[in-house]
């Protein structure tokens, strides 16, 4: 007799859902998959059982059913929720593993609770590599339902990479905060790489520096490792477009922080930096140049003369504080060079 605890469904078989399905199959799970687009050949070869619609998905899974959703956040999730509510039965468990807004997850859980269905919010981190080989999960919702899902998550996570965060909404809130921290770290690493690149005395080998940093330094991390890998693959920064895209979740976090009156200047600035990367017309810079030209007749565009002034205009060092002794200045003609 088949063990019902090792059977589950996945709706949305893209990078994350498909990778988790493959990992689960390798660990002995029977997985039933549903996707509105083409069912990937690689998943069929891995033994993932295809379902044509929610009715067939329900028929292929034993009760109480466990189904993971890996679809883009937004209205599509509500559409799926409505279909699920009409098809699935009391006691079935739906796990939203995408990046839905935590407030939406609270509302959806409440809507399904009236139908005796469980809606759990499960933040998933680790990217496509984590989904394929061991992810990190942050899950919120009804404790009894989470207890039934937890063995699956623990099998698909890295050791100790799974946490029950609390009531509905908490899993996606914790994941959202995680994404905000990620943005701040990305910005700091990016700024550090820019400083390395602008070292004027010689050309530093970025990949070698990053490799060193990731072996014992305080800032060693997966992000530094990824930066090193991509730097080697692209042979430097030049081939990479300066436009940075994102799906907008951290914008929600900045808005939430203002509602909560929590100061998050690093996270907020990292979002502004991403938005600034998309300004191909550089409207802000042009406006500033126009005003500077108006009040000081400053030139439009680069001026070699002003660039020299910027580098040579300051002669001395930072002034000493009252009571401090300034360093001795050699007198002219004393032979000191």
User: Cα 34 to chain center, whole Å?
Assistant: 25
Quick check: helix, strand or coil at residue 155? helix
N- to C-terminal Cα separation, the chain: 91
Helix axes 170-197, 222-234, angle to 10 degrees: 50
- DSSP secondary structure letters along 162-192: EEEEESTTHHHHHHHHHHHHHHHHHHHHHHH
Half-sphere exposure (Cβ direction) of 64: Cα atoms closer than 13 Å: 14
Residue 182 appears among annotated catalytic residues: yes
Query: What is the enclosing helix (H) or strand (E) of 242?
Result: none
Listed residue (127, 134, 132) closest to 153, CA to CA: 134
d(CA 271, CA 274): 5
Residue 175 appears among annotated catalytic residues: yes
Quick check: helix, strand or coil at residue 94? strand
- What backbone phi and psi angles, to 5 degrees, belong to 107? -65, -45
DSSP letter for 4, please.
G
* Other Cβ atoms within 10 Å of 225 Cβ, number: 14
Contact between 64 and 91 (Cβ < 8 Å):
yes
**182, 202, 238, 305: which one is catalytic?**
182
Query: What is the enclosing helix (H) or strand (E) of 161?
Result: strand 157-166
Catalytic residue positions? Answer: 175, 182
């Amino acid at each position: 007799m088949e063990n019902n605890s090792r059977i589950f469904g996945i709706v949305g078989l893209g990078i994350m859902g498909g990778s988790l399905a493959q990992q689960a199959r390798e660990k002995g799970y029977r997985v039933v998959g549903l996707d509105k687009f083409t069912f990937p050949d690689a998943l069929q070869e891995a033994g993932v059982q295809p379902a044509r619609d929610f009715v067939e998905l329900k028929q292929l899974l034993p009760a109480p059913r466990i189904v993971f959703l890996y679809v883009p956040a937004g209205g599509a999730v509500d559409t799926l929720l409505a279909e699920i509510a009409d098809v699935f039965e009391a006691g079935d468990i739906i796990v939203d593993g995408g990046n839905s807004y935590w407030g939406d997850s609270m509302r959806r859980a409440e809507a399904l609770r009236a139908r005796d269905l469980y809606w759990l919010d499960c933040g998933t981190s680790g990217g496509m590599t984590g989904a394929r080989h061991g992810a990190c999960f942050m899950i919120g919702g009804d404790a009894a339902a989470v207890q039934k899902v937890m063995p699956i998550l623990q099998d698909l996570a890295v050791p100790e990479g799974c946490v029950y965060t609390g009531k509905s909404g908490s899993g996606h809130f914790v994941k959202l905060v995680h994404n905000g921290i990620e943005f701040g770290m990305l910005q700091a690493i990016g700024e550090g790489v820019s400083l390395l690149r602008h070292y004027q005395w010689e050309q530093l080998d970025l990949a070698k520096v990053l490799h060193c940093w990731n072996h014992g330094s305080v800032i060693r991390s997966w992000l530094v490792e990824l930066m090193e890998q991509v730097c080697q693959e692209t042979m430097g920064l030049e081939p990479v477009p300066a436009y940075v895209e994102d799906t907008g979740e951290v914008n929600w976090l900045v808005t939430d922080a203002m509602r909560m009156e929590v100061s998050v200047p690093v996270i907020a600035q990292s979002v502004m930096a991403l938005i600034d990367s998309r300004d191909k017309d550089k409207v802000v810079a042009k406006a500033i140049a126009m005003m500077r030209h108006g009040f000081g007749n400053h030139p439009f565009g680069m001026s070699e003369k002003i660039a020299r002034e910027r580098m040579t205009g300051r002669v001395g060092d930072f002034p000493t504080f009252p009571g401090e002794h300034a360093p001795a200045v050699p007198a002219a003609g004393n032979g000191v060079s």
